[in-house]
Chains A and B, each alone.
Chain A
């Protein structure tokens, strides 16, 4: 009898728990109007103050979610992200596929008057219809004048045996393969498997010299590495951390071009809060707003007016002090060839054990 009673109570508890869950779920999905903006972007990439000021100014509540990888945002966009997000950050390398796939809302630039501030050299006519560039970053080589065994003036210097155990590097197939392709004299956006395979052989030597991937700025400051392939923003952080004793210098490349990448905002097809998205895009392209945002995010910026309005410190940052800013290449959309890159990148990663 007692057992039966226990069973009954247990059963009731289960039923209650299940219905309670159901009730909770249906309660949350209320429509809160257009005073809301859902953004999906990199973390630590916009100052909290910038967001707070925007919320105060417009009364729009901003919900930020963060990506871990460029693939995250592409996955969201191709799966139809309009229900969830109003603005998504992606990079120039994926724009062609995203536009061709019809995953993006076409922009009405008359609603973003501040977009005039953006240098058109960084914003192609096709991209002007679908995205607004936010920040950009050079991927170049930096070394420590005192500790690095050799002076680095081209990518091939990185695979010299003297560099063994000296090198730190950012990761990712489309960051690593282009430098190998350039070193070998090929198109950095090659779609030829034979060339990519050769680049893979080059990268094996590169990999042998690398101590660690990622956290380059920490590793160069604490003395683990003496040279690095990295972003200009991370270099700025490393140089700032070394302060007056800074011995880091941007490698004086003579011929090899460096990669320039853009992080940009797009509106996913079917976004629910278009007005809020436009308000944000116009806000973030404002010269003063962006200049203030650059203090915490010292990356290169395609917004000329903002750079002009930015602090002296930002404009004189030694991380941006190199004379080949025009000798650049872009990461292009390689379409299906991305699978070839991934295949060799995987091989590179798996082979390291030997």
Chain B
């Protein structure tokens, strides 16, 4: 009796297992296990030439509490926030513009937005370097038109790093907002206008709240990678402008302190989780528009 009941249950579960199984397996293999391993390493001791000695220690977390790390983290959060805000300010009208075009035009515009991304990001970063370098076109133009009498050092400054970050993450902000705005039904906006709302009020009270899921995924999709990036900051910052991503990368390279690198990565994980948690207080995570 019990055996047959068990079998019956088993057959019922098969479809579920077949559908969810591969995904779960994938997630466990490629997300959960590596993540647990990072957390594990962060509680170990560094080896002399890099690597990890399996002696438990809280040293990494103690180091992380030093004031200098706090400064770096605050600075990184600041730059990631600036990048995100700039991407939203530029990206929202842009997404709105595309979404209000007929579908054929819209898809063409989206393609245009994506085309730069078919080139390697290192090439794009090198292009910024060439444009802004001391004897590059920008400086030459300004010298020739007597706007300045000495070349300005643009490269290896915080400003150029920010520019690099914004241009790199803009599409990640535009796409989710586009898909949110596109779903917005025109009659709702017309109703708002009919009821006497000015376009400004409609934007603030109707459009923005209804497209909030798109905006929030735009925030997540720009803020989190901007916080963790090191390639952009390394290249445009010349190894002098350091953010948390560079510090983590250095731990696994020249500084050879893997546990500290792991501990800092755990911190990034916590920040990310916190952001998702905040979002879940406002709206359903399932509604998040991740194209």
Contacts and interface: CB of A to CB of B under 8 A. Distances in A.
B124 interface: no
Interface string A12-38: 001000000000000000000000000
B7 interface: no
A31 B75 CA distance: 53
A79 B240 CA distance: 32
A221 to B, nearest CB: 9
Interface in A179-222: 207, 210-215, 222
Contacts of A349: 242, 247, 250, 255
B156 interface: yes
B51 A213 contact: no
**Residue in B15, B19, B21 whose Cβ sees the most chain A Cβ within 10 Å:** B15
B239 interface: yes
**Residue in A79, A211, A336 whose Cβ sees the most chain B Cβ within 10 Å:** A211
A172 interface: yes
B240 A213 contact: yes
B156 A212 contact: yes
B21 A14 contact: yes
Given A7-B19, A222-B133, A222-B135, A78 B242 contact: no
Interface string B149-163: 001010110000000
Interface residues of B, number: 38
Contacts of B50: 71, 74-75
A162 interface: no
Interface size of A as a range: 35 or more
B225 interface: no
Given A212-B238, A224-B153, A353 B75 contact: yes
Contacts of A350: 68-69, 71-72, 242, 247
A338 interface: yes
Contacts of A8: 18
Interface string A69-86: 101001100110000000
B14 interface: yes
A213 B71 contact: no
Contacts of B18: 7-8, 10-11, 14
Contacts of A75: 49-51
A347 interface: yes
A2 to B, nearest CB: 11
A211 B240 contact: yes
Contacts of A68: 253
A336 B48 contact: yes
B136 interface: yes
A157 interface: no
A255 interface: no
A11 B51 CA distance: 40
Contacts of A214: 238-239
A346 B135 contact: no
A346 B250 CA distance: 9
A232 B151 CA distance: 28
Interface in B9-48: 14-15, 17-19, 21-22, 46, 48
A138 B158 CA distance: 32
Contacts of A346: 250, 255, 257
A342 B252 CA distance: 12
A25 B136 CA distance: 50
Contacts of A165: 153
Contact of A212 (B51, B240, B250): B240
A345 B255 contact: yes
B71 to A, nearest CB: 6
B48 A71 contact: no
Interface in A314-354: 335-336, 338-339, 342, 345-347, 349-354
B240 A210 contact: yes
Interface in A243-285: none
A296 interface: no
Contact of A7 (B15, B48, B242, B257): B15
A224 B46 CA distance: 37
A246 to B, nearest CB: 16
A4 B240 contact: no
Nearest to B238: A212
Interface string B241-255: 110000100100111
Given A7-B18, A213-B239, A339-B48, 17 more contacts: A8-B18, A14-B22, A68-B253, A69-B254, A71-B49, A71-B50, A74-B50, A172-B254, A211-B156, A222-B133, A223-B133, A224-B156, A335-B48, A338-B49, A349-B250, A350-B242, A352-B241
25 contacts: A6-B15, A7-B15, A7-B18, A7-B19, A10-B22, A11-B17, A75-B50, A78-B49, A94-B49, A171-B254, A210-B240, A212-B238, A214-B239, A215-B238, A222-B136, A335-B48, A339-B48, A345-B254, A346-B250, A349-B255, A350-B72, A350-B247, A351-B68, A352-B242, A353-B71
> What are the 5 A-B residue pairs with the smallest beta carbon separation, nearest first?
A212-B238, A213-B239, A7-B15, A223-B134, A7-B18
